[in-house]
Amino acid sequence: MKRTVLSHVLLLGLVGGVLIAILRWSEYQFLVIEHSFEIYGAIVAILFSAFGIWLGLKLTKPREKIILREVLVPPAAPATLDPFTANQPQLDALGITPRELEILSLIAEGLSNREIAGRLFVSENTVKTHCSRAFDKLGARRRTQAVQLGKQLGLLP
């Protein structure tokens, strides 16, 4: 952009210089001496007008818009011969409800509380409550520990 502005300024200066040279060449000394302020003012006004029009067109030109679209690709299901079934006696012994197990499995997928709430159509506080109860029943302090214990006990795939 600097190069184009510089070339435009040089071009406008050259045009102004040519106009002055034409006035001197045709020996309009009287006109130049009598009305020099008006002529130079007109030249400066023309230069500024041309530069202003050029700059206005440059600044109001529509800018390119880059549109990014995210496409969700469902993960490929692993090819297993027998589907996973949770260890039901262990679930009964711990007293984990189906909703708590569902939230534990979503935690194992790596979803945040907000994402789990959006997927299950419940509030984030409801998800936190279920997480807290499941963690207490498993004896876990952190999400990763709860997932690890769930897998060891056969509750999660």
Neighbours of 67 (CB within 10 A): 4
pLDDT tens for each residue of 74-86: 877 666 556 777 7
pTM for this model (two decimals): 0.48
User: Six-digit token pair at 55?
Assistant: 């700059």
Q: What percent of the chain has pLDDT over 90?
A: 11
Taking residues 11-17, what's their average pLDDT?
Answer: 85
Where do the H-state alpha helices sit in the chain?
2-25, 29-34, 36-59, 88-94, 98-108, 113-120, 124-138, 143-152
